[in-house]
Structure formats: C-alpha cells, structure tokens
C-alpha cells in the first residue's frame, strides 16, 4: 500500500512538473505578430550598360563566365554574371522623378536552371526626408511575383535597423532596364 502511494505521488509529481513547464501562459497563447516600427516604399531603376548607353547606364557587368562578355548578359539565365549598380531611388515608379537616394551594390546570377540572383546592396539617402543608409542582403528568385530579402542594418536615421524588404518587379524592358518596388518593413528602429 505504501509503495502504491509512493509511486502514485511520484507519478503526480512528474506530471505536475511536465504541465508546469509546458503549461505556462505564453505556451498556450498564440504568438503575437509584431507590427513594423516603420514602413517605407521606394522604387529603384536599373539601366544595364549594353555597349551603347554609357550616358544613361546605372549598372555594369563586372564579371562573366568563360563564355560571356561584359556588354551582354550571358545565356543560361545569365549564370555567372556579376553586376554592380548605382541606381536612383524614387518615391514613385517614374524614372525621371527626383531621386531621394541611390541603391548601390551588386547582384550575382547564381543558378543555371532558373532565373535567380543573390543581392547585396544599400539604399543611401541624403535628402531632407531621410539621411543615412539601409543595408540589404539575400536571394532574389526573379520569377516569383514577390520575394523577401533581409534588412541587415543601417546608418543615420536607420541606425542598426532590422527588417524585411519585399521586392517586386515593377517594370522590365528586355535586358537593359528594370525597375523594382521595395516595400520595406522595419522591426527594429532606434
């Protein structure tokens, strides 16, 4: 009888320990969805140098695969091409709108089978509305309607910021011009 009580007490003790550790109020509540501390929308316009448009070009091919050249993007989904850019950033989708900053960085076409790239760039601002930079990095599967890349930091008004930028291709004109819309949601703002 004593042994049965002891085993029963031990069973309830372990049961309470298990419920106590997983039964905390936070465990049963749904996770709270964090709201962004800042939302921004910008457009950046990329004009790739093609051998004829040096006055208007904002990007250039700086690395190519063995079969490529530096004025025309390589075949096979541009695999192996490395492009650097210094693109204007605007508040609307008009290339001729006054720029509020520059998108500066690079993209690498990194897959043969599908059209995709890896991006590393900054939005550099120097306007009355924003000063400083926002830094981005991540994979860009170009055929998806929208794709998310990480906001990995910043300076000035965006010091140490973190978040997510949702990119969408807003315009595409052959292999010379494209415009991206960047919907930026910042979750760490100082």
Tokens of residue 158, six digits: 């965006």
Give residue 165's pLDDT: 98
Mean pLDDT of the chain: 86
Domain coordinates in residue numbering, the chain: 36-188
Distance separating alpha carbons of residues 80 and 130, to the nearest angstrom = 35
Least confident range from 3-7, 70-74, 102-106: namely: 3-7
Distance separating alpha carbons of residues 97 and 60, to the nearest angstrom = 22
CATH class of 36-188: mainly beta
pTM over 0.75: yes
pLDDT tens digits, 160-175: 999 999 999 999 998 8
Nearest CA-CA partner of 171 in 98, 95, 105: 95
pLDDT tens digits, 44-53: 999 999 989 9
Beta carbons of 127 and 106 less than 8 angstroms apart: no
Residue/partner pairs of 49-55 with CB below 8 Å, 24 or more apart:
50/175, 50/176, 53/176
pLDDT tens digits, 99-119: 999 999 999 998 888 889 999
Distance separating alpha carbons of residues 96 and 75, to the nearest angstrom = 31
């Amino acid at each position: 009888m004593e042994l049965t009580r002891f085993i029963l007490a031990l069973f309830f003790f372990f049961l309470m320990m298990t419920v106590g550790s997983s039964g905390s109020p936070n465990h049963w509540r749904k996770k709270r969805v964090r709201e962004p501390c800042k939302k921004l929308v910008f457009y950046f316009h990329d004009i790739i140098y093609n051998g004829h448009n040096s006055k208007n070009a904002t990007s250039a091919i700086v690395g190519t695969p063995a079969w490529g050249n530096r004025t025309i993007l390589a075949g096979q989904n541009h695999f192996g091409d490395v492009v650097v850019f210094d693109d204007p950033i605007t508040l609307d989708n008009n290339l001729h709108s006054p720029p509020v900053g520059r998108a500066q960085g690079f993209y690498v076409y990194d897959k043969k089978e599908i059209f995709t790239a890896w991006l590393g760039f900054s939005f550099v601002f120097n306007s009355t509305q924003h000063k400083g930079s926002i830094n981005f990095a991540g994979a860009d599967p170009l055929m998806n309607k929208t794709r998310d890349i990480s906001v990995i930091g910043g300076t000035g008004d965006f010091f140490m910021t973190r978040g997510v930028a949702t990119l969408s291709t807003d315009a595409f004109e052959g292999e010379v011009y494209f415009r991206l819309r960047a919907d930026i949601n910042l979750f760490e703002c100082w």
